[in-house]
Amino acid sequence: MGSSSSLTEVYRGLELDPSDRLPAFADVNDRAVSLGVMSKAYGLAGLRIGWIATHDERLFRELAAFKDYATICNSAPSEFLATIALRHTGVIVERNLRIIRDNLDRLDAFFGSHADKFGWYRPKAGSMAFPALLLGDVDEFCTDLVEKAGVTTKQIMALISATLPEIRFSIVTSALLSLLTSFDEVIVENAGYRITVPAIPLALRS
Ligand SMILES: Cc1ncc(COP(=O)(O)O)c(C=O)c1O
């Protein structure tokens, strides 16, 4: 049996410009596997429902058999709610895109006025942002965010990319405003100057 490749497509559908949407990997190659979940584009992480899609029937049967082996069944209420959400994809994804757009506008303003401290690349899709820290050490910055400013490790992650050190965080978190306030506190403490957090309340998840 030959090899297969899989691609996680959990942010598919959250392209700000729909013309940027790529075809599903499973539709590009007969042996490819696409993986989707309810937790990202739909914002329904609590359902714990996801799926795989492939045109490779044999592989599909093997994966389904493995799932039967690993779990008895999904949560039936979660499957029911996921089905309703999938039938209303347009409304749900449009709402989530609206939250992302609103928060991105504010992040544009925030990082735009602090271009000497952060490199800001407006994401074209998805709900994650990756600004680069231009001053200091990104590990130290993120450790200080957690230890001194009370940010949780769930909210932020230091990434050392090939080009610039980046900070990964969610654009749709309800704690975005307090996260930016924490950026402010940590930068003030470490570098001795102040970042002003936008006065306008950020659009929140709910
Ligand atoms: C790229 C990617 N794939 C898959 C998953 C898994 O999603 P779930 O939380 O629904 O299990 C995540 C969740 O963080 C993710 O970021």
Ligand 1 atom having least distance to the Cα of 11: 1
Which residues line the pocket of ligand 1, CB cutoff 6 A?
A: 8, 10, 37, 39, 45, 50
Judgement on whether residues 180 and 99 belong to the same structural domain of the protein: yes
pTM (2 d.p.): 0.85
In a domain, 61, yes or no: yes
Residues 76 and 16 grouped into a single domain: yes
Q: Of 28, 58, 87, which closes a domain?
A: 87
At residue 196, the pLDDT reads 57
> Which of 87, 117, 132 marks a domain boundary?
87
Q: Which of 87, 114, 131 lies at the terminal end of a domain, its last residue? A: 87
Those residues with Cβ within 8 angstroms of residue 14's Cβ, 6 or more apart along the chain or in another chain: 40, 41, 93, 96, 97, 100, 125, 126, 127
* One domain, residues 119 and 180: yes
Among 158, 153, 182, 181, CA closest to 168? 158
What CA–CA distance (Å, rounded) separates 179 from 150? Answer: 9
> Same domain for 70 and 119?
no
User: Which of 6, 8, 10 most suits a substitution to test ligand 1, by most atoms within 8 Å of the C-beta?
Assistant: 10
pLDDT value of residue 203: 59
Q: Looking at ligand 1, which residue's alpha carbon is closest to its atom 16?
A: 10
Q: Say if 127 falls within a structural domain.
A: yes
Domain identity same for 58 and 142: no
Q: What is the CATH number of the domain that holds 101?
A: 3.90.1150.10
Q: Give yes or no: residues 110 and 76 share one domain.
A: no
pLDDT of residue 202: 54
**What CATH number did the domain enclosing 61 receive?**
3.40.640.10
Distance 120 CA to ligand 1 centre (A): 24
Q: Which amino acid is at 12?
A: R
10-residue mean pLDDT series, the chain (206 residues): 85 96 95 96 96 96 94 95 98 96 91 88 95 84 84 85 83 81 77 54 51
The answer to whether residues 127 and 81 belong to one domain is no
The pLDDT assigned to 55 comes to 97
- The answer on 64 and 102 residing in a single domain is no
166 with 101, same domain: the answer is: yes
CA of 113 to the centre of ligand 1 (A): 32
For residue 54, the surrounding DSSP H or E stretch is strand 50-54
| Whether 125 and 143 share a structural domain | yes
Domain count, the chain: 2
Q: Domain range holding 186?
A: 93-191
Structure tokens at 164: 């610039």
Cα–Cα distance for residue pair 16/110, rounded to 1 Å: 20
Residues whose CB falls within 8 Å of the CB of residue 11, separated by 6 or more in sequence, listed in order: 40, 41, 125, 126, 127, 128
Q: Given this model, what pLDDT does residue 206 score?
A: 40
Q: 28 φ, ψ to 5°?
A: -95, -30
